[in-house]
Amino acid sequence: MKKRILRYVKHLVATILLVGTLGILFGLYHGASLHYGDDPLMYEIDNEGPYVFYKNDSILNVNYVKGNMGEGYFVEEKEYSTDAEIRAKSYFQIDSTSFDFTIDTAVKNPKTTYSDGNPVIAISDIEGGYKTFRDFLINNKVIDKNLNWTFGKGHLVLVGDFVDRGWSVTQVLWFIYKLEQDAAKQGGVVHFIIGNHELKNMQGDYGASAEKYLLAANILGRVRSELYNQNSFLGKWMSSKNAIELINGNLFAHGGIHPEVANSNLSLEEVNQIIRRNYYRPYYPKTEESVDNLLISTAKGICWYRGYFKDDLTQQQVESGINTFNAKTIVVGHTLQSKVNRQYKGKVIGIDVKHPKDYHKNWPNAKSEGLLIQGNKYYRVFHNGEKEEI
């Protein structure tokens, strides 16, 4: 009897270990990880900012959150004319670094199509990870260690979801803003493609936002929905961006092109105009069929679509959207991949990978990847600057 019980226990333990191991392997394959080791600096918000708001058409309020939990917080606020040259600084707590930039109140919509043959580096879904983003750009020679632009006339394409989840969203957004200015001086271009999480922030949906930003908004005497609304400078700047662009024959969109979008007979410029005018309109499924509802749908919209990886699409369906806009490929984020890869005979390139987090560690450790396009060659580029053709 005792031997039988012992044998049963051994079988039970072996079964549990086998099932547990398979569960872990399945989770790792699908991007699961163990979160550990929060850095206490994630809760420090001294020098957080700047948070910039329009007081009226001619005056901007530039605010920095100062202080600490023990001694209390206060807001350092200055007013500037919108015609003034406004020098600003963004501070990053975890390694006590900062960068300077100039706020230019002239916000313009970018072009939709670019054709110059210059190299392209694309990365997506940074999710508020300033250090990860910065170090990837340094190691891939887009910028130097002093954060100076070194990519010449190249294109840096940011394929959505650079906000939410992380604790360095303010730093990431101002860093993109700085990079735009620095690149333009050398003939380069930074393309900030809007993803579904940028949309959520513009629409006041902060369900995926770090609690740090609730604290910052409260100290500023505001609610979180004001941080990126139409009275916020960063909100105004973000809402000028495109949802899809064609760069040297390659389309870039956070989600992708649903077959119904491919049949809409719209130009890329018209697609961007329609989506842009709906940036501050939260979407809920409608019974009425309209082009607006199609393009901003959370299932079929450009910023939300996951069909390349979740639906049973034919090669023809995939290519119809790409061919409609006279492109060779489409590069997308949004749907997590185990690595940067090409699918559908190379027509779809998925670049959403799990990136390291600034303020905590995960097991297994994530390592950033991106995409490099040089002429007709496509490369998977790594966090350390190495690359391999795909």
Residues 207 and 335 in one domain: yes
Residues 109 and 26 in one domain: no
Cβ-in-10-Å burial (0-12, 13-18, 19+) of 74 comes to exposed
Q: How confident is the model at residue 126 (pLDDT cuts 50, 70, 90)?
A: very high
Is residue 273 included in any domain, yes or no?
A: yes
Q: Residue 32: is its pLDDT beyond 60?
A: no
**C-beta of residue 30 within 8 angstroms of C-beta of residue 199:** no
Indicate the number of domains in the chain: 2
Is residue 112 included in any domain, yes or no?
A: yes
Is residue 7 included in any domain, yes or no?
A: yes
Is residue 328 included in any domain, yes or no?
A: yes
Higher pLDDT, 77 or 1: 77
351-373 average pLDDT score: 90
pLDDT digits (tens, 9 = 90+) for 211-223: 999 999 999 999 9
Residues 205 and 335 in one domain: yes
Residues 23 and 135 in one domain: no
Residues 277 and 361 in one domain: yes
Residues 18 and 144 in one domain: no
Structure tokens at 4: 């039988």
Sign of the alpha-carbon dihedral angle for 44, 50, 54, 55 = positive
Higher pLDDT, 6 or 313: 313
DSSP lists the bridge partners of residue 232 as 53
Residues 267 and 370 in one domain: yes
Q: What percent of the chain has pLDDT over 90?
A: 84
pLDDT digits (tens, 9 = 90+) for 48-65: 999 999 999 999 999 999
Residues 210 and 351 in one domain: yes
Residues 257 and 361 in one domain: yes
Q: How confident is the model at residue 17 (pLDDT cuts 50, 70, 90)?
A: low
Distance CA 377, CA 272 (A): 28
Q: What is the pLDDT of residue 311?
A: 94
Residues 18 and 138 in one domain: no
pLDDT digits (tens, 9 = 90+) for 129-184: 999 999 999 999 999 999 999 999 999 999 999 999 999 999 999 999 999 999 99
Q: What is the pLDDT of residue 43?
A: 83
Mapping DSSP onto H, E and C, the string for the chain reads CHHHHHHHHHHHHHHHHHHHHHHHHHHHHCCCCEEECCCHHHHCCCCEEEEEEEEECCEEEEEEEEEECCCEEEEEEEEEECCCCEEEEEEEHHHCEEEEEEECCCCCCCCCEECCCCCEEEECCCCCCHHHHHHHHHHCCCECCCCCECCCCCEEEEECCCCCCCCCHHHHHHHHHHHHHHHHHCCCEEEEECCHHHHHHHCCCCCCCCCHHHHHHHHCCCCHHHCCCCCEHHHHHHCCCCCEEEECCEEEECCCCCHHHHCCCCCHHHHHHHHHCCCCCCCCCCCCCCHHHHHHCCCCCCCCCCHHHHCCCCHHHHHHHHHHCCCCEEEECCCCCCCCEEECCCCEEECCCCCCCCCCEEECCCCCEEEEEECCEEEEEECCCCEEEC
> Domain range for residue 24?
2-30
Q: What would you report as the CA-atom Rg of the chain, rounded to the nearest whole angstrom? A: 23
Q: Residue 285: is its pLDDT beyond 70?
A: yes
Q: What is the pLDDT of residue 42?
A: 84
**Residue that has been written with the tokens 């206490």 in this structure:** 40
pLDDT digits (tens, 9 = 90+) for 64-119: 999 999 999 999 999 999 999 999 999 999 999 999 999 999 999 999 999 999 99
19-33 average pLDDT score: 51
CATH number for 123: 3.60.21.10
251-275 average pLDDT score: 96
Is residue 55 included in any domain, yes or no?
A: no
Residues 181 and 292 in one domain: yes
Is residue 233 included in any domain, yes or no?
A: yes
Is residue 217 included in any domain, yes or no?
A: yes
Q: What percent of the chain has pLDDT over 70?
A: 91
Q: How confident is the model at residue 28 (pLDDT cuts 50, 70, 90)?
A: very low
Averaged pLDDT of the chain: 93
Is residue 352 included in any domain, yes or no?
A: yes
Q: What is the pLDDT of residue 24?
A: 45
Residues 26 and 109 in one domain: no
